[in-house]
Chain A
Amino acid sequence: MSNKVKNILLVGVGGQGTILVSKILSSGLLNAGYDVKMSEIHGMAQRGGSVSTQVRFGEKVHSPIMAHGQADILVSFEMMEALRWMKYLSPEGKVVINDYQIPSAPILFGKVDYPEGVAQIISKKVNATIIKASEIAAKIGNARTMNIVLFGALVKSMKLTEIDWESAIRDNVKSNMVDINIAAFKAGMETVN
């Protein structure tokens, strides 16, 4: 498989705003001259299910989907979803995890407990950045920009800072939400060294 193509995997729970991030990400990459392919699954997953979006970019991209062990970065909008999707990550890959738990149905109904120590389990194996994105977003003034905080961390981790992301954000959010999303984006970038 081609080494030049970069693979980004965004995972979370339906309704967390992964789709907006993938939109901003892919439009920014396209405008920067990359070939881009993005794949996501709609349908039943929207009813509180686990969701994933794959973004692949490079000089020439064929497949819209990646293999296990191929993701250069895994951005998880929810804590335990990071572990669920870990098999997709390359052993040299990075993980950005939102320190935010959304219990799934079996947990809510008291059948099982939310798994403990997910961040530690993952940090032992790979380069992981754990972010309290919802707290950061709330401080900026809108908890719903949590997804854009994570997007900022993704951009910094992937060293994609030279791309004009502010325009990409402007093109994809409502005009009265541009400033706060750009602030969230910048705060997200600051979480990564």
Chain B
Amino acid sequence: MTKLLTGNEAVALGVWEAGISYACAYPGTPSTEILENIAANYKKDILAEWAPNEKVALECAIGASIAGVRTISTMKMVGVNVAADPLFSFAYSGVNGAMILVSADDPGLHSSQNEQDNRYYAKFAKIAMLEPSNSQESKDMIKSAVEISEEFDTPILFRMTTRICHSKSPVNEGERITPVKKPYIKNPAKYDLVPSVSKALHYILEDKLKRLQAFSETTPLNFIQWNSKKIGIVTSGISYQYAQEVFGTNASYLKLGFTFPLPIEKIRAFSKEVEILYVIEENEPFIEEQIKAAGIQCIGKEKLPNVDELTPEIIARELLGKELQTIDIDTSIVPGRPPTLCAGCPHRGFYVELRKLKNIMITGDIGCYSLGGNEPLNAKDTTICMGASISMGHGAQKAFDLFDENKRTIATIGDSTFFHTGINSLMHVAYNRSRTITCILDNRTTGMTGHQNNPGTGYTLMGMPTKEADIEAVCRAIGIEHVRTINPLNLEEVKATLKWAMALDLPSVIITRWPCVLKKFTEGDIEEFGDYFGKCEVVADACTGCKNCLKTGCPALQYSKADNKVVIDQVQCVGCEVCKQVCKFDAIERKQKA
């Protein structure tokens, strides 16, 4: 049967068809839906787990592989940085059951903090790499990856990009291989990477790479499509689709699905047959550099950019000088539409009070609360990576204190991000006698990526109830003595707690505990937070049009110029009452329930 699937859905299907038994990941756009689909569709056949971070996820998959089952670990590209430590060494030991690491890169930074090209990880870590170019290949190549992993005793870097992960194209279902577990045989010479073992394994790894190189030259994953020989194109991934879109049958293609090690001799032979050789690849010149190093002439980044997403449009313009006509129309009058904290978002109340503090530096983190830095809240100074808010805040505080600069640093981090890597940073804060204020914005879920469970939610990815990690107890256990848990929708409470923390010359933690407004409340949530949902409305006679409430940045509030009043959109409003609390004229009331 043919289905229209995203690349992520197709990978999940491929995982099932390939006889993979265990999957472990940390959510991150654009990779998240792979594990979600495995958990939703193949519950009976595959164990899927959310890990607190990518390093843990990969290590779990490595353990399962060594124990003898086929495994997969999925993450966004920056997650691979977190998981790089086990990855590089696992390349030395190799697998027992197949192990696939999906790296979902984000050219164009649709929802990422950098634009790194993770193909270099394959070369750096010395592991085989596959790159699908559509959903069908996303499924089929998982099966190929499993075979290659077990045949060559190597983990596989399965490299996808946003346009592969989130585009839909037709997929034909295939036969499923029934999972089998290989026996586990204790083998320290392979799996116990002490220096003497690792040195021996490095020689073996180099030999493996030679065999993989030979495989790359002959595998049908790397194939030639002969058309006109005037132009030859070496390409991989989504760029293959773009190249065909632009050149059609006016060029021949060497399409690479197995992109590390590269089939250099195949490329050389192909180059000799064509008049001009283009390398079309998105972001960095990963293929081009290796081709040029082999002494083969080609044109790549001289013409094509290495910044932002590649598109058929850019290829047509840069390589053919062709551009489609567009409509001559002034679009500059359209205001931007940046993402905002939702109406009723529990982070809003916290940021409304936080931004009032003077002489502070606010270190931010990765999650919805990064929107607290936008207009009109403007309550953030920095974002670098997951968990960094706490440790950067500490470093900055020490720097200010070393030179007696009157500044306090306040770290803001979410619950899932705290469990990810913030916990290590907070340990450093406690251990190194810091005086930062760490605010853990616990919205009882992983918000930005679409509500994944985490160690603090009390449920597993498969929906099983589990032990809930107690953030307050964790903070105290690692040495933070001053910890308060508050309701972020109560502005007086937020204000008083920030004041308390600012007055301390010791490290403190403020936990704001309230569920994401979009979260489906669990039984525990209802019990703890009750049925607070309702509606607020403006008392028109009392509203002076001062616009103070608009400074909360709630998208349910709108100012009407015509009558100099604010109105509350009754569809969006959930009755969080943050606007009601900032109104100095008692012009906002909670509607009585009918």
Contacts and interface: CB of A to CB of B under 8 A. Distances in A.
Interface of A: 1-2, 13-14, 26-27, 30, 35-50, 61-70, 80-81, 83-84, 86-91, 103-115, 121-122, 125-126
Contact of B340 (A30, A88, A89, A105): A105
B145 to A, nearest CB: 22
Contact of A126 (B110, B162, B327, B336): B327
Contact of A30 (B2, B327, B337, B547): B2
B27 to A, nearest CB: 11
A1 B339 contact: no
B339 A47 contact: yes
A67 B327 contact: no
Contacts of A26: 4, 168
Contacts of A121: 329-330
Given A64-B169, A86-B331, A125-B327, A106 B110 contact: no
B337 A105 contact: yes
Nearest to B326: A69
Looking at chain B's contact residues, the main secondary structure is loop
Given A106-B375, A108-B557, A41 B328 contact: no
Contact of B559 (A61, A66, A108, A126): A108
Contacts of B371: 47
B167 A104 contact: no
A47 to B, nearest CB: 4
Contacts of B163: 39, 64-65
Contacts of B333: 83, 115
A43 B448 contact: yes
A121 B334 CA distance: 12
A86 B4 CA distance: 28
B550 interface: yes
Contacts of A65: 163, 167, 311-312
B242 interface: yes
Contacts of B375: 105-106, 109, 111
A39 B340 contact: no
B341 A47 contact: yes
B338 interface: yes
B4 A27 contact: yes
A112 B338 CA distance: 14
B329 A122 contact: yes
A87 B561 CA distance: 31
Given A1-B312, A44-B110, A67-B313, A80 B166 contact: no
Interface in B1-36: 2, 4, 29-30
A192 B170 CA distance: 31
Interface in B112-142: 134
Contacts of A105: 336-338, 340, 374-375, 553, 555
